C-alpha cells in the first residue's frame, strides 16, 4: 500500500515541477519569442499557410477570432461525419468493421471536434483504422483550438487598450506543432517500448495455453494514446480505454499517461504568469485549483482503498481495496487518483470503470465535472476559471463598494451578464438533460424511434445508481469530459442526439463567452493600479474565487448529487 501511495504523490509532484519550465516555454511560443523548434517548424508552418492562402500574421479582433474558430470547426465536423458514415467501405479497415449509423456518426464527430471524446462505440469493433487516424487528427486540432482560445485571452489581458488580439491560425497551429506534437512523440515512443502496439494489422487469432480460440485486437494505438492524454481528449483506442492492458500496460505507463494529461493544463496556468509577467497571479490561480483538486481526490482515494462495505460484510479480504472494475496492476489508490484527475481535467480517459466506483468517489467525479474549473482541459480550463474570476471580482467589488476592476480594466454590466449566463448554462444543460432522461426512465416510456424498448432498458443499474448513470452522462457531455458510467446503454438515437446537442452548446458557448468578455475588456481604457484597486493576486481574492465556485456548484448541483451518489452512500451497508 505504501508503494501505491508513494506512486500517487510522486506523480502529482513531478507533474507540478515539470509544468513550470513547460509553462515558460508555452508563454514564449505565444509571445512569438525564439524557441528550440523554430528551425524545424518555421518552414513547415510557412509552407502550410502559403498553400492554404491564409495569413498567420494579420491581427484579429475577438469577433474575427470567433469566426475563424467556428468555421474551421464546422469543416472538421462535416469531414469527420462523412468518414465515420462510410468507414465500412473506405480503406484501412482490416477488421471489416461496419459504417456508423447516422446518429452515432453525428455524436462521435461532434464529440471529437469539441475535445470531449464521449464514445458510444467500442474501439475494437466500432471504427476502422482510417477513422481512428482521423479521430486522432481531431484530438490534435481540438486541443489546439482550446489552447489558442486561452492564448487569445492571455493576449487580451495585457496592460493596454486595443482590439487586436493576435492571429487565431498562428496560435492554433503553434499549439499543435510546438507543444502537442513534440510531447506526443516522446510519450508515444515510451508507450510503444512499454508494450502498447503500433501496427496496422488485423486481429490476431491465437490458441491459448488451455486451448481456447481467441482473437486479439491491435492497431496503431501508441500514437493515438499519447495525444489522447496530452490533448486532454480521453477517447480510448480500445473499448476499455486506459484500463485495457495494451492501452496502458504497466504501472509505469499509467504514471506516464497520468503525467501527460496533467502537464499541459498545469503548464497553461504558469504560462499565464510568464506571459503577463504576473507570476503571483498564476500562483494564486494554481493554489485555488489545487485546493479544490485535493478536496476531491483525498476522499476518493480513501473510499477506494477502504473498499465496498457490502463486500466487506461477506467476509472476504479487501486488503487490495475495491477491485470491481479495476486492474490489479494499478490498484485502488492510483485508480482513485486517476478518476479525479481525468474528471477535473476534461480528459475523460479511465483506467478503472467509474460505474463501479464507490458512491463517495462517484460523487467526487461528478462534482469535479460540475465545477469544471479546477485545472480544466487543454486551454479551456483557464477560460472556465476566467468566468469565475470575473464573477468574484464583481461580487468583491460590490462588497467593498468599489468599481470592480480586473487587471486595470473596469468590469461593467455587459461583461457580468455574459459571465453569469455562462455560469448558469452548465447546470442548465446538465440538469435539464438529466430531468428529461429521468422522466422517461421513471415512467418507463416506450421510446419508439429513439430507443428500442422502454426507457429503463438503458440503465445497467437500478435505483439511485441508475439515476447517477444518467446524471453522469449529461455532466460528462456538458463538461466536455467524455468518461461515463459506461453501463448506460447510450448507443441509440436518444442518447446520441441529446448528448450531441449538449456537447455542441457546452463547448462553443463557453469559448464564445470568455473571448467576448476578454475582447470587450481589452478595448477599454487601461486604469493604472492605485490604492483603491482591488488586488486580484492575493490569497484573500483566491478564497473569494473559491467561495464563488463552491457556492455556484453546490447550490446548483447538490440536490442532484443527493438523489444519486449520496443516497447510494447512505443505503450501502
Partner 1 sequence: MKTIFSLLKLTLLTVILFAVIYPLAIYGIAQFAPNHGKGETISVNGKVVGYQKIGQKFDKSNYFWGRPSAVDYNAAGSAGSNKGPSNAEYLALVQKRIDTFLVVHPYLKKSEIPSDMVTASGSGLDPNISPQGALIQVKRVAKERKLSEDKVKALVEANINTPKVMGTPTVNVLELNVALDALSKKGS
Q: What is the DSSP letter of 459?
A: -
The minimum distance between CB 485 and partner 1, in angstroms, equals 7
Q: Copy the grid coordinates of residue 235.
A: 477517447
Residue from the set 38, 199, 444, 529 that interacts with partner 1 by CB under 8 A: 199
Q: Which residues contact 82 (CB under 8 A, 6 or more apart)?
A: none
Under rule CB under 8 A, which residues in 220-239 are in contact with partner 1?
Answer: 220, 222-224, 226-227, 238-239
Give the whole-angstrom CA distance, residue 453 versus residue 149: 43
36 binds partner 1 (CB under 8 A): no
Stretch (H or E) spanning 421: helix 413-443
Residue closer to partner 1, measured from CB, 330 or 385: 330
Contact flag: residue 554 with partner 1 (CB under 8 A): no
Single out the residue of 51, 400, 413, 531 in contact with partner 1 (rule: CB under 8 A): 51
233 touches 482 (CB < 8 A): yes
| Residue from the set 164, 278, 279, 329 that interacts with partner 1 by CB under 8 A | 329
Cβ nearer to partner 1, comparing 404 with 466: 466
Contact call for residue 217 and partner 1 (CB under 8 A): yes
Q: Are 325 and 534 in contact (CB under 8 A)?
A: no
* C-alpha cell of residue 468: 447517477
Nearer to partner 1, 26 or 188 (CB): 188
Which CB, 214 or 435, lies closer to partner 1?
214
In our burial notation (b when 16+ CB lie closer than 10 A, e otherwise), range 19-44 reads: bbebbebbbbbbeeeebebeeebeee
Check residue 207 for interaction with partner 1 (CB under 8 A).
yes
- For residue 443, give the 3-state DSSP assignment: helix
Taking CB under 8 A as the criterion, the residue among 149, 155, 175, 177 binding partner 1 is: 177
C-beta of 97 vs 372, nearer to partner 1: 97
Of positions 13, 17, 214, 398, contacts partner 1 by CB under 8 A: 214
Q: Which of 201, 199, 260 is nearest to 234 (CA)?
A: 260
Q: Which is nearer to partner 1, 461 or 556 (CB)?
A: 461
169 binds partner 1 (CB under 8 A): yes
Binds partner 1 (CB under 8 A): choice among 33, 36, 200, 399: 200
Q: Is 328 helix (H, G, I), strand (E, B) or coil?
A: coil
Least Å distance between CB 357 and partner 1?
8
| Of residues 73-112, those binding partner 1 (CB under 8 A) | 75-76, 79
Q: Cα separation of 26 and 29, whole Å? A: 5
- Least separation in angstroms between CB 251 and partner 1: 4
Q: Long-range pairs for 273-278 at CB < 8 Å and ≥24 separation?
A: 273/23, 273/27, 274/23, 274/24, 274/26, 274/27, 274/28, 275/27, 275/30, 275/31, 275/154, 276/154, 276/157, 276/158, 276/407, 278/407, 278/537
- Which residue, 175 or 499, has its beta carbon nearer to partner 1? 175
Strand 409-410 to 405-406 pairing: antiparallel
Map the footprint of partner 1 across residues 301-320, applying CB under 8 A: 307-308, 310-311, 314-320
Contact range with partner 1 by CB under 8 A, out of 216-224, 371-379, 385-393, 470-478: 216-224
Q: Taking the complex as a whole, how short is the minimal distance between the CB of residue 66 and partner 1, in angstroms?
A: 14
Stretch that binds partner 1, among 106-114, 176-184, 275-283, 429-437 (CB under 8 A): 176-184
Name the CA dihedral angle for 192, 195, 196, 202, rounded to a multiple of 10 degrees.
110
Asked if 322 interacts with partner 1 (CB under 8 A), we say yes
**Sequence-separated (6 or more) residues with CB below 8 Å from residue 495:** 107, 120, 451, 458, 473, 488, 489
410: left (phi > 0), else alpha (psi -120 to 50), else beta?
beta
Residues paired with residue 220 on neighbouring β-strands, in sequence order: 198
The alpha carbon torsion through 381, 237, 88, 203 (nearest 10 deg) reads 180
Please state the closest distance from residue 352 (CB atom) to partner 1, in A.
5
What is the footprint of partner 1 within residues 244-273 (CB under 8 A)? 244-246, 249, 251-252, 255
How far apart (Å, rounded) are the C-alpha atoms in residues 35 and 81? 37
**Which residues in the 424-463 window bind partner 1 by CB under 8 A?**
460-463
| Segment near partner 1 (CB under 8 A); pick from 25-33, 154-162, 397-405, 480-488 | 480-488
405 binds partner 1, rule: CB under 8 A: no
Length of the chain: 573
The site that binds partner 1 (CB under 8 A) totals a number of residues, namely 118
Of 119-127, 415-423, 496-504, 553-561, which part binds partner 1 (CB under 8 A)?
119-127
What are 349's three cell numbers? 480517459
For the bound state, the minimum distance from the C-beta of residue 429 to partner 1, rounded and expressed in Å, comes to 24
Selected from 14, 48, 298, 527, the binder of partner 1 by CB under 8 A is 48
Closer to partner 1 by Cβ: residue 67 or 277: 67
Q: Which stretch binds partner 1 (CB under 8 A): 184-192, 450-458, 491-499, 520-528?
A: 184-192
Residues between 487 and 546 that touch partner 1 (CB under 8 A) = 487
Instruction: Compute and round to an integer the Cα radius of gyration of the chain.
Output: 23
Binds partner 1 (CB under 8 A): choice among 34, 39, 96, 212? 212
Amino acid at each position: 500500500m505504501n508503494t501505491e501511495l508513494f506512486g500517487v504523490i510522486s506523480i502529482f509532484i513531478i507533474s507540478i515541477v515539470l509544468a513550470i519550465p513547460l509553462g515558460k516555454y508555452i508563454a514564449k511560443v505565444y509571445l512569438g519569442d525564439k524557441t528550440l523548434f523554430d528551425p524545424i517548424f518555421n518552414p513547415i508552418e510557412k509552407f502550410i499557410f502559403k498553400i492554404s492562402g491564409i495569413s498567420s500574421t494579420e491581427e484579429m479582433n475577438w469577433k474575427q477570432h470567433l469566426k475563424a474558430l467556428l468555421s474551421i470547426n464546422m469543416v472538421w465536423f462535416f469531414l469527420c461525419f462523412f468518414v465515420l458514415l462510410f468507414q465500412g467501405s473506405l480503406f484501412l479497415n482490416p477488421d471489416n468493421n461496419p459504417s456508423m449509423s447516422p446518429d452515432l456518426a453525428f455524436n462521435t464527430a461532434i464529440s471529437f471536434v469539441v475535445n470531449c471524446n464521449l464514445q458510444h462505440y467500442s474501439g475494437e469493433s466500432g471504427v476502422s483504422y482510417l477513422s481512428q487516424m482521423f479521430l486522432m487528427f481531431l484530438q490534435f486540432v481540438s486541443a489546439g483550438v482550446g489552447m489558442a482560445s486561452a492564448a487569445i485571452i492571455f493576449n487580451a489581458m495585457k496592460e493596454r487598450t486595443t482590439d487586436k488580439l493576435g492571429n487565431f491560425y498562428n496560435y492554433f497551429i503553434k499549439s499543435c506543432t510546438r507543444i502537442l506534437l513534440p510531447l506526443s512523440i516522446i510519450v508515444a515512443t515510451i508507450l510503444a517500448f512499454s508494450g502498447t502496439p503500433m501496427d496496422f494489422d488485423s486481429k490476431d487469432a491465437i490458441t491459448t495455453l488451455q486451448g481456447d480460440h481467441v482473437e486479439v485486437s491491435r492497431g496503431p494505438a501508441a500514437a493515438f494514446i499519447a495525444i489522447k492524454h496530452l490533448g486532454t481528449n480521453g477517447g480510448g483506442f480500445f473499448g476499455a480505454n486506459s484500463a485495457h492492458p495494451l492501452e496502458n500496460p504497466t504501472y509505469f505507463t499509467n504514471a506516464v499517461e497520468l503525467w501527460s494529461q496533467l502537464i499541459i493544463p498545469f503548464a497553461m496556468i504558469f504560462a499565464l504568469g510568464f506571459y503577463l509577467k504576473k507570476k503571483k497571479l498564476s500562483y494564486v490561480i494554481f493554489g485555488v485549483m489545487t485546493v479544490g483538486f485535493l478536496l476531491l481526490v483525498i476522499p476518493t482515494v480513501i473510499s477506494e482503498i477502504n473498499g465496498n462495505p457490502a463486500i466487506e460484510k461477506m467476509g472476504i479480504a479487501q486488503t487490495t481495496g475495491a477491485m470491481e472494475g479495476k486492474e490489479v496492476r494499478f490498484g485502488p489508490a492510483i485508480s482513485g487518483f486517476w478518476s479525479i484527475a481525468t474528471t477535473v481535467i476534461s480528459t475523460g480517459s479511465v483506467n478503472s470503470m467509474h460505474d463501479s466506483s464507490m458512491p463517495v468517489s462517484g460523487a467526487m467525479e461528478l462534482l469535479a465535472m460540475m465545477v469544471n474549473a479546477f485545472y480544466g482541459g487543454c486551454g479551456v480550463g483557464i477560460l472556465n476559471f476566467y468566468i469565475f474570476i470575473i464573477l468574484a471580482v464583481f461580487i468583491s467589488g460590490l462588497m467593498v463598494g468599489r468599481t470592480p476592476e480586473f487587471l486595470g480594466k473596469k468590469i461593467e454590466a455587459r461583461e457580468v451578464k455574459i459571465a453569469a449566463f455562462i455560469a448558469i448554462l452548465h447546470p442548465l444543460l446538465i440538469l435539464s438533460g438529466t430531468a428529461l432522461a429521468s422522466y422517461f426512465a421513471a415512467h418507463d416510456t416506450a421510446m419508439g424511434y429513439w430507443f428500442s424498448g422502454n426507457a429503463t432498458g438503458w440503465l445497467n443499474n437500478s435505483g439511485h445508481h441508475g439515476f447517477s448513470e444518467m446524471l453522469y452522462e449529461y455532466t460528462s457531455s456538458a463538461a466536455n469530459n467524455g468518461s461515463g458510467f459506461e453501463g448506460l446503454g447510450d448507443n441509440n438515437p436518444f442518447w446520441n442526439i441529446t448528448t450531441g446537442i449538449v456537447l455542441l452548446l457546452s463547448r462553443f458557448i463557453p469559448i464564445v463567452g470568455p473571448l467576448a468578455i476578454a475582447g470587450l475588456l481589452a478595448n477599454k481604457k487601461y486604469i493604472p493600479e492605485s490604492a483603491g484597486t482591488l488586488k486580484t493576486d492575493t490569497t484573500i481574492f483566491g478564497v473569494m474565487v473559491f467561495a464563488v465556485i463552491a457556492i455556484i456548484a453546490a447550490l446548483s448541483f447538490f440536490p442532484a448529487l443527493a438523489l444519486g451518489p449520496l443516497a447510494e452512500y447512505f443505503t450501502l451497508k
